[in-house]
């Protein structure tokens, strides 16, 4: 018996990609423009000016489905670095060190990097390989 949602798999994947990209871009807005809320006092400049553009541009690219493999791969790597630089030294488990969001973003972006942009994407409209 086929799972009742399996016929909607491409649409669900596209929605996940769009929502994850949308949520991620706001982390870049926060770092670069202090919007919708400012970064905590004492945030190192290299985090603001390195992570901010990756989050803003990468989030937009993933959301619209343009150069999705590369944008998601870079975002995944950035989240892995963020986890080990900020959260990992605090405690062993993500639940203890407040690193769950970084871990989830890392693996969701890794999955998106492997899958490609899917439907409802600029990559698919322009006929890019794996834009399916």
Confidence at 1, pLDDT banded by 50, 70, 90: low
pLDDT value, residue 38? 95
Rounding to the nearest 10 degrees, give the CA dihedral for residues 118, 119, 124, 125: -160
What's the mean pLDDT in 5-21? 96
Largest CA distance in the chain: 55
Confidence at 37, pLDDT banded by 50, 70, 90: very high
Residue-averaged pLDDT of the chain: 94
Give the predicted TM-score (pTM) of the model: 0.93
């Amino acid at each position: 018996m086929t799972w009742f949602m399996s016929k909607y798999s491409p649409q669900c994947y596209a929605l996940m990609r769009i929502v994850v990209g949308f949520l991620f871009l706001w982390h870049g807005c926060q770092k670069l423009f202090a919007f919708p809320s400012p970064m905590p006092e004492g945030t190192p400049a290299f985090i603001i000016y390195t992570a901010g553009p990756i989050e803003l541009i990468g989030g937009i690219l993933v959301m619209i489905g343009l150069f999705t493999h590369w944008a998601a791969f870079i975002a995944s790597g950035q989240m892995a670095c963020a986890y080990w630089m900020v959260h990992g030294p605090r405690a062993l488990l993500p639940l203890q060190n407040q690193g769950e969001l970084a871990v989830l973003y890392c693996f969701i972006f890794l999955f998106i990097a492997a899958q490609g942009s899917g439907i409802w994407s600029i990559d698919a409209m322009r006929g890019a390989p794996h834009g399916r």
